[in-house]
Structure 1
Amino acid sequence: MTSIDDFSEIETDLANLARLSSSGANEDVRLLVAKLVRKYRTLRPALAEQLDSTLKASRTRSHGPAVLRRSMAVSDSSAMPMDADSRQSLIRVFDDLDGISEPLLPDALFAHVQSLIRERRERDRLAAHGIRPTRSAILVGPPGVGKTLSARWIANQLGKPLWVLDLTTVMSSLLGKTGSNLRAVFDHAKQNQAVLLLDEIDAIAKRRSDESDVGELKRLVTAILQEVDAWPDSGLLLAATNHPELIDPALWRRFDAVLTFETPQGNVLATAVRRFLGADIALFEKWVDLLASSVYGMSLSDVERSINALRRYTVLENASPAHAVIEMAIKGLPSLDKSSRQKLAIELARLEALSHNKIMELTGVSRDTIRKYAGPSPIKGRGIKKKD
């Protein structure tokens, strides 16, 4: 029996399909239908089969290059704007339409991202009240904190692949070519109502007061400003930077929203550890807080790398979870500040893995401080307690 929630979801999908159809966005219509086929193949196979038949019929009737093939075969560079000299695509494509993990973000930032997605989904409703949706946003933060993953997830939630400006191809040594390549990317993205990401935008939108840059790059900044101003409501323009201080101040005013990403902390860090432990989560569950303390201050990509190393070490060395985690914590000590060392010391004491003397020796945190927050030590001596 179909529930009310199921009907509500189907109604939402049909409304989105009708909206795209009425706007004449044929490529997006076919892309959404393909996504619905995959979505309902298990839940409502009859509906999925009907949609799939319609999709195949539309491909058969198409004359010339099929729009559907251009939208779904994302590896086909002929469908994308190319550099005239190298014949390389100016756009890299992330096709996450089959699903992608939700980004690991603080609650406030995640709410901002969800709000942006909702505006895009209900832009017709906003337009009816004379309100424009957020057309552009710049994602700011250090490397490895989830900016690109968040952009991919946003595109996924909007039923689109993410198009990323490929700077290595766009940037040309020939004067005037970089601007032409950039305009070709923007024109193509606008025509297809795309989600376009300008990654490392600081490389092409530096302050025009920077005396080290030639006139060509300064003209490029002006061209980018014009393109951002002209970006339509039908698409979403994203930019990402690790160096906001390098970006021309005029560009900041052009973006509708600024999303600030930071290194993970607290619940986000613990959630990241659990996610990256994967199938080994049950083995390490009691050690999650200690692991989170030992990777404090790391980016999400570094946390993932450390947790994967921990899992490999446990298997290859046949190590107990206790020994593997403590080994990892000790290796990470040199990179921790005083506050992080204290937090790690307290977690070690609470888990009763080492004596207070040994913890003090490893971390430099006094026994009095450890005892104050973790209570008296039940372990005598320096060894690891003989239990997991």
Structure 2
Amino acid sequence: MARSDLILSIVRASAAGDRKALRASVEAIVAEERSKNHHILADRLQRAMNSVSVAPPAVSSHSAGQSGKDSILETVPRQRIDDLILSLPVGEQIKQLVEEQHRADLLRSYGMQPRHRVLLSGPPGNGKTSVAEAIAEALAVQFFTVRYDALVGSFLGETNTRLAKLFDYARTVPCVLFFDEFDSIGKERGDIHETGEIKRVVSFLLMQIDQLPSYVVTVAATNHAELLDRAVWRRFQLRLSMPQPSAEALAVYLDRQLAQWPEPAGLTADLLAKKLGPVSFAEALEFCQTVRRRHILSSNNRELKAIVREQLDLWAARVIPKVADAARSREAAPPLK
């Protein structure tokens, strides 16, 4: 049974409406019960604490219109880690993180916490969002994507207030909290072109990330690692680079796509990968889907191989946009581990 002083502190915190003290006391009881292998009771206490946290506190009419949930898009994760084509270091480290989360009780019994902060960097279309979703699927937890349109406010201090509510909501349940295009909010504070408000937001954001419990897995993704504040890198235990796929990886991906087609494509996945050239997984998928669309719209009266040849001709003639700031992309980013 939990100690009487902890029970007393819970009663006092509840009477005073002190949610922070209430959570701390309940967490202490949960830890004590787990140390005694009373896992059923500990789980029930944890669920009860989360349900209390979900209930919105009394707020004024001025702040009632914006809750932490308003800044989050909740989706059901469907992507699986085994379905992704990842480099060996990335795949292994993601699987290690999932194992640590699954066996968190064992780690905590030794005074350690599972890793729960991941930073993914690399050009767009190469699986950063898919990795975040796959982590949520492997852990069987909710997948929260941060909505910047509902997060960033136009008034002084408004963004920090919304950030606080967002993190309070994320703490109520085990989840994966995903920040896409993290460089848009985690910018370098030394940039002379940024306002003081942005710098305050970055400082507050980093503090909130530090305080998240280990059952909230934070995944941040960026296409521009060089724009991130230097302090951001230290906050993340896993910093993984996801570059454009190699020709071999692209061929494996295309082979999976061609296997789903009702007819032969008229060329191998290796040859198709060579013809497409250096592209992202997203671009390769779009090419395959375009071929299938044309085949479906032809009412299957045209052979797939003919449509593939036609689309490859169009692919070769496409306009490739120039990178707006090539010099910036060549700047050295902090080393990835």
Structure 1 length as normaliser, TM-score? 0.62
- TM superposition shift of 1:313: 3.1
- TM superposition shift of 1:97: 6.3
Equivalences for residues 323-342 of structure 1 within 5 A: 323-333=306-316
Which of 269, 289, 303 matches 1:320? 303
CA distance in 2: counterparts of 1:270 and 1:169, whole angstroms: 39
- TM superposition shift of 1:169: 0.3
> One-letter code of the match for 2:313?
I
Q: Which residue of 1 aligns with 2:23?
A: none
CA distance in 2: counterparts of 1:91 and 1:329, whole angstroms: 40
The 1:28/1:113 distance shift into structure 2, 3 A limit, reads farther
CA distance in 2: counterparts of 1:151 and 1:200, whole angstroms: 13
Count the aligned residue pairs. 272
SS in 1 for 2:156: coil
SS in 2 for 1:195: strand
Matched, 1:26 2:47: yes
Larger radius of gyration between Structure 1 and Structure 2: 1
> One-letter code of the match for 1:25?
Q
Q: Which residue of 2 aligns with 1:130?
A: 111
What are the Cα deviations for residues 86-121 of structure 1, in whole angstroms up to 9, with x where unaligned?
A: 678110012126979832322332122111111111
Q: Which residue of 2 aligns with 1:121?
A: 102
Contact 1:141 1:260 in 2 (8 A): yes
Contact 1:164 1:197 in 2 (8 A): yes
Matched, 1:237 2:218: yes
What are the Cα deviations for residues 345-384 of structure 1, in whole angstroms up to 9, with x where unaligned?
A: xxxxxxxxxxxxxxxxxxxxxxxxxxxxxxxxxxxxxxxx
The 1:210/1:203 distance shift into structure 2, 3 A limit, reads same
The 1:334/1:285 distance shift into structure 2, 3 A limit, reads closer
Q: Which residue of 2 aligns with 1:141?
A: 122
SS in 2 for 1:283: coil
Report sequence identity in percent: 29
Matched, 1:154 2:175: no
Q: Which residue of 2 aligns with 1:188?
A: 169
Which of 291, 297, 300 matches 1:310? 291
What are the Cα deviations for residues 110-166 of structure 1, in whole angstroms up to 9, with x where unaligned?
A: 122111111111112122233332120111111111111111110011011211111
Equivalences for residues 48-197 of structure 1 within 5 A: 84-85=64-65, 89-96=70-77, 102-197=83-178
The 1:120/1:255 distance shift into structure 2, 3 A limit, reads same
CA distance in 2: counterparts of 1:27 and 1:89, whole angstroms: 23
Matched, 1:220 2:201: yes
> One-letter code of the match for 2:314?
K
CA distance in 2: counterparts of 1:227 and 1:272, whole angstroms: 38
- TM superposition shift of 1:278: 5.7
- Cα RMSD of the aligned pairs, angstroms, is 3.2
Contact 1:199 1:239 in 2 (8 A): yes
Q: Which residue of 2 aligns with 1:361?
A: none
SS in 2 for 1:25: helix
Contact 2:81 2:138 in 1 (8 A): no
Contact 2:72 2:166 in 1 (8 A): yes
> One-letter code of the match for 2:253?
A
The 1:224/1:148 distance shift into structure 2, 3 A limit, reads same
> One-letter code of the match for 1:331?
L
SS in 1 for 2:120: strand
SS in 2 for 1:191: coil
Larger RCO: Structure 1 or Structure 2 (Cα < 8 Å, ≥ 6 residues apart)?
2
CA distance in 1: counterparts of 2:115 and 2:137, whole angstroms: 17
- TM superposition shift of 1:286: 4.7
Q: Which stretch shows the higher mean deviation, 172-181 or 227-236?
A: 227-236
The 1:263/1:21 distance shift into structure 2, 3 A limit, reads farther
* Structure with the largest fraction of helix: 1
